[in-house]
Amino acid sequence: MNTPDSTPSLDFIRSIITEDLKANKNHGTIHTRFPPEPNGYLHIGHAKSICLNFGIATEFGGLCNLRFDDTNPIKEEEEFVESIKEDVRWLGFDWEDRLYYASDYFDQLYKYAVQLIKNGKAYVDDLTPDEIREYRGTLTESGRESPYRTRSVEENLSMFERMRAGEFEDGSRVLRAKIDMASPNLNMRDPVLYRVLHAAHHRTGKKWCIYPMYDFTHGQSDSIEGITHSLCTLEFEDHRPLYDWFVNELKIFAPQQIEFARLNLSYTVMSKRKLMELVEGGDVTGWDDPRLPTISGMRRRGYTAESIRNFCERIGVAKRESMVDMALLEYSIREDLNKRARRVMAVLRPIRVVIDNYPEDETEYLDAENSPEDPGMGSRKLPFSRVLYIEKDDFREDPPKKFFRLAPGREVRLKHAYYIKCKGMVKDEKTGELIELHCTYDPKTRGGWSDDGRKVRGTLHWVSAAHSIEAEVRLYDHLFVKPDPSDEKNGSDFKDHLNPNSLETLTSCRVEPSLADAPPGMGFQFLRLGYFCVDSVDSSTDRLVFNRTVTLRDTWAKIEKTQKKSGMPGKRKKAA
């Protein structure tokens, strides 16, 4: 077994597991699980849990299950099941033959419920949902016992069987645990175990019309599968006494529940309910919209599995809730794509440039490296001709101070090509809009260098007008303008903070011809512009569509640099 040493670098969960192994707890085995609900698509917060559960299993020579918590047939769909499996695989993890569903255990869970009734630890309650909430009490006031709490074991068994047989309407009866209505922990005040729900299940069909609640399903499913360490997010900390109460009363194998802080990421929302609201409300194009923090959306935007895994490793595991800066996630994808992405040229807002002294019918092919980070990527040939396109923003008729790009009478370098000098402009006679530039080139500067030692301050990207391909480019930005849109103080709704400029679509872009056969999902660095990928849904050989993954500007690197200068990270904080 590969057991990491107990060192200060271990997070608190790995430290607990290391100590358990030293004590030979559970006979030295480690078994975790990732238990998503199939009621939506996974997001980057789930990726943290996936990396943690599967990662720990791998590090400690253990096993990790994929288990769907499918106890609510109204909200669950097979589409969500398949998307979750695809996301886990894409992230690089394999559950092998350990794919399970909570619905696999419905018969056993029913037997557990009957066992609790027979032991006098559960009863059928006729109170309405509103009455149950009222009887439960508050954080400062004890709850009241239901008038049905004293039913006999025989009557409860009969009523529960009738619930299963479909004799009662939805919401008319529930099975509750009999614990303590005066407990300071509201979760222990006779929680609901089963509710009547006449709905077909995506796996069991109409076999059941009663379904177990999550709190009753969670621990027992862990126990059935032999899970040694049940890793949950922090909101389940108050549920742990209930988790332990069930397994103790049933006298079954007791997994150890450990809670950690969930991921909160700036400029987005991490609630399935809110994500569902955005999807169903038409605020985004679907669960895989590249502006969403869903794994499928991030994949479509151009994020790599490696970058997400590295991000999850960077943020670590803690016991305190905190907000992670989106800049750190963007740093992770820049770092990854900088190593793997081929450099290409694309012009997003083109303006026509005519090289007056270049032969009209001539085309030459210039050498261009594919990546300065990896010489093994080789090089490609770029066509150069008399008519080119450059970015509109790379020219100013009246340039401001420190503008080192093209202007009247000014010379600049074309990347991999020649020096050119602007000699004239053509404007629309009616609107005055600039439509064409006229330049000359210096044939002695092929490759972008001068033998006479003269220097130019600006280097521009470009494409040949005759050889470039038209493409659509989608520029994505943060979905929200507020760092924490879920902070709904002063009566605001999270959707009030949607960014109206989160997507800009450019339809007349030009890209170099080497991108003609770029496969869906492949990422590139558009020189001077950012990292982009071929859209996996809308792009085709007849219509190239690129999504901007991230800009070249690296906010996080600047933050880190500033902190190092000020000495802020000099002392390492102790793990929470």
Q: What percent of the chain has pLDDT over 70?
A: 94
**In whole angstroms, what is the distance from residue 33 CA to residue 49 CA?**
10
CATH at residue 448: 2.40.240.10
Specify burial of residue 113 (Cβ count, 10 A radius: 0-12, 13-18, 19+).
Answer: buried
Helix 214-225 × helix 240-250 angle, to 10°: 60
Q: Are residues 357 and 241 both part of a single domain?
A: no
Q: Are residues 220 and 369 both part of a single domain?
A: no
Q: Are residues 239 and 366 both part of a single domain?
A: no
Query: Is there a domain that residue 115 lies in?
Result: yes
Q: Are residues 367 and 255 both part of a single domain?
A: no
Q: Are residues 192 and 69 both part of a single domain?
A: yes
- Domain count across the chain: 2
**Hey, how many other C-beta atoms are within 10 angstroms of the C-beta on 171?**
12
* pLDDT number for residue 176: 98
Catalytic residue among 173, 195, 203, 272: 272
Type of residue found at 385: S
**In whole angstroms, what is the distance from residue 35 CA to residue 53 CA?**
10
Catalytic residue among 25, 37, 144, 306: 37
pLDDT at position 373 over 80: yes
Residue with tokens 């900088």: 338
Would you say the C-alpha torsion 565, 570, 575, 576 has a positive or negative sign?
A: negative
Helices within 137-239 (DSSP H only)? 153-164, 214-225
Specify burial of residue 437 (Cβ count, 10 A radius: 0-12, 13-18, 19+).
Answer: buried
CA distances from 570 to 314, 317, 327, 330, 560 (A): 17, 21, 21, 24, 11
Rg (CA), the chain: 31
Catalytic residue among 85, 98, 262, 495: 262
pLDDT at position 72 over 90: yes
Query: Is there a domain that residue 16 lies in?
Result: yes
**In whole angstroms, what is the distance from residue 80 CA to residue 36 CA?**
10
Query: Is there a domain that residue 428 lies in?
Result: yes
Mean pLDDT value across the chain = 93
**In whole angstroms, what is the distance from residue 498 CA to residue 166 CA?**
45
* pLDDT number for residue 8: 44
Q: Are residues 64 and 208 both part of a single domain?
A: yes
Per-residue three-class SS string for 367-423: EEECCCCCHHHCEEEEEECCEEEEEHHHECCCCCCCCCCECECCEEEECCCCEEEEE
Confidence bin at 282 (pLDDT 50/70/90) = very high
* pLDDT number for residue 569: 40
Domain end position, chosen among 399, 426, 461: 461
* pLDDT number for residue 246: 98
E strand or H helix at 37: none
Query: Is there a domain that residue 535 lies in?
Result: no
CATH at residue 231: 3.40.50.620
Pairing of strands 419-427, 434-442: antiparallel
Query: Is there a domain that residue 336 lies in?
Result: no
Query: Is there a domain that residue 218 lies in?
Result: yes
Would you say the C-alpha torsion 354, 359, 365, 371 has a positive or negative sign?
A: negative
Q: Are residues 43 and 185 both part of a single domain?
A: yes
pLDDT at position 505 over 80: yes
Query: Cα(first)–Cα(last) distance of the chain, in Å?
Result: 28
Q: Are residues 68 and 213 both part of a single domain?
A: yes
Instruction: Give 299-312 pLDDT, tens digit per residue.
Output: 999 999 999 999 99
Residue 203 CB contacts under 8 Å (≥ 6 apart), including other chains: 70, 101, 103
CB crowding 117-130: b at 16 or more within 10 Å, else e: beeebbbbbebeee
**In whole angstroms, what is the distance from residue 443 CA to residue 375 CA?**
27
Query: Is there a domain that residue 291 lies in?
Result: no
Query: Is there a domain that residue 284 lies in?
Result: no
Domain end position, chosen among 260, 289, 309: 260
Catalytic annotation present for 37: yes
> Cα 510 to chain center, whole Å?
30
CB crowding 514-553: b at 16 or more within 10 Å, else e: bbeebeeebbbbbbebbbbbbbbeebeeeebbbbbbbeee
**In whole angstroms, what is the distance from residue 231 CA to residue 218 CA?**
11
**In whole angstroms, what is the distance from residue 244 CA to residue 547 CA?**
48
- Range of the structural domain that residue 153 is part of: 12-260
Q: Are residues 227 and 111 both part of a single domain?
A: yes
Residue 84 CB contacts under 8 Å (≥ 6 apart), including other chains: 36, 38, 41, 42, 68
Contact by Cβ (8 Å): 381, 467 = no
Instruction: Give 377-409 pLDDT, tens digit per residue.
Output: 999 999 999 999 999 999 999 999 989 999 999
Catalytic annotation present for 470: no
Contact by Cβ (8 Å): 67, 225 = yes
* pLDDT number for residue 10: 87
Q: Are residues 236 and 361 both part of a single domain?
A: no
Confidence bin at 572 (pLDDT 50/70/90) = very low
pLDDT at position 560 over 60: no
Residue with tokens 């150890």: 256
Q: Are residues 42 and 144 both part of a single domain?
A: yes
Domain end position, chosen among 408, 440, 461: 461
Instruction: Give 516-536 pLDDT, tens digit per residue.
Output: 999 999 999 999 999 999 999
Q: Are residues 232 and 361 both part of a single domain?
A: no
pTM here is: 0.91
